[in-house]
């Protein structure tokens, strides 16, 4: 039995779960664009999501993290809607638009990023160490330690007049010298940097806002808050 969460409070069950490196429900494409890993030898490849699976969690711990996966999917859908709304409104005559809003649980999104790092650590740690050890990261993923003290997210977008929805999720590691200090995930033109440990942002916030403007007027807002 392989389970990176074996030392968190919930006991492992005796059933192995086949875990996707990136939550399958996160996007509609069947492909993941992967780069930055040693096994790719400097290349970027699109790999079928069904092939990116690993036996690294027991079924009980995997099921316990279902709400975390659901919140990551909710964020993905909110970002997809941001681009869809932009594409619709950019074709119309400029005006002061009604502001559309979505809300996402910031803690659960952070937990999902930590879960993803743990699921892919076989790639991250081949020639380096994680900035935080596996057992402590597992506690963060399951809410048994204060994730706001050790994990930060930075979200940047490039929404513009020529924005095209990219249905392929992009994932790559973040390194500092010999340490893996986080992960970068790109969804629908938005880049999310997750940093852990001492490399997390100096001003770690427990809320975050993503704002999209049309012709200098606020059009859409995603609130991520704990």
Mean pLDDT of the chain: 83
Q: How far, in Å, CA of 157 to CA of 186, rounded?
A: 9
pLDDT category of residue 175 using cuts at 50, 70 and 90: confident
Has residue 153 got a pLDDT over 70? yes
CA pseudo-torsion sign 22, 23, 24, 25: negative
Q: How far, in Å, CA of 224 to CA of 226, rounded?
A: 7
Tens digit of pLDDT for each residue in 13-58?
989 987 766 666 665 667 777 666 666 677 777 777 777 678 889 9
pLDDT at 195: 94
More confident residue, 20 or 8: 8
Has residue 110 got a pLDDT over 80? yes
β-partners of residue 172 are 184
Has residue 79 got a pLDDT over 80? yes
**Residue boundaries of the structural domains of the chain:** 69-225
Taking alpha carbons only, the member of 49, 51, 54 closest to residue 32 is 49
pLDDT category of residue 100 using cuts at 50, 70 and 90: very high
Q: Which range, of 122-131, 153-162, 204-213, averages the lowest pLDDT?
A: 153-162
Q: At what angle do helices 106-119 and 66-89 cross, to 10 degrees?
A: 110
pLDDT at 202: 67
pLDDT category of residue 165 using cuts at 50, 70 and 90: very low
Q: Which residue has the tokens 């490196």?
A: 21
Q: CB neighbours (10 Å) of residue 203?
A: 6
Has residue 166 got a pLDDT over 70? no
The DSSP annotation for 24-93 comes to GGG-SSSEEEE-S-GGGTT--EEEEGGG-EEEEEEHHHHHHTHHHHHHHHHHHHHHHHHHHHHHHHTTS-
């Amino acid at each position: 039995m392989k389970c990176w969460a074996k030392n968190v409070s919930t006991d492992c069950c005796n059933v192995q779960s086949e875990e996707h490196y990136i939550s399958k429900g996160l996007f509609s494409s069947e492909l993941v664009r992967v780069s930055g890993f040693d096994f790719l030898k400097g290349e970027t490849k699109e790999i079928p999501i069904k092939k990116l699976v690993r036996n690294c969690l027991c079924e009980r711990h995997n099921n316990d993290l279902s709400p975390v996966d659901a919140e990551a999917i909710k964020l993905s859908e909110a970002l997809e809607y941001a681009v869809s709304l932009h594409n619709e409104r950019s074709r119309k005559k400029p005006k002061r638009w009604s502001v559309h809003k979505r809300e996402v649980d910031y803690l659960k999104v952070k937990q999902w990023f930590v879960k993803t790092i743990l699921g892919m650590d076989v790639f991250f740690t081949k020639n380096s160490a994680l900035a935080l050890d596996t057992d402590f990261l597992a506690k963060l993923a399951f809410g048994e330690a204060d994730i706001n003290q050790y994990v930060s997210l930075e979200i940047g977008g490039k929404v513009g007049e020529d924005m095209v929805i990219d249905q392929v999720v992009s994932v790559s590691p973040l390194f500092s010298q010999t340490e893996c200090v986080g992960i970068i995930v790109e969804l629908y033109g938005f880049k999310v940097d997750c940093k852990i440990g001492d490399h997390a942002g100096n001003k770690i916030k427990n809320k975050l806002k993503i704002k999209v403007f049309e012709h200098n007027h606020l059009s859409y807002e995603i609130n991520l808050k704990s």
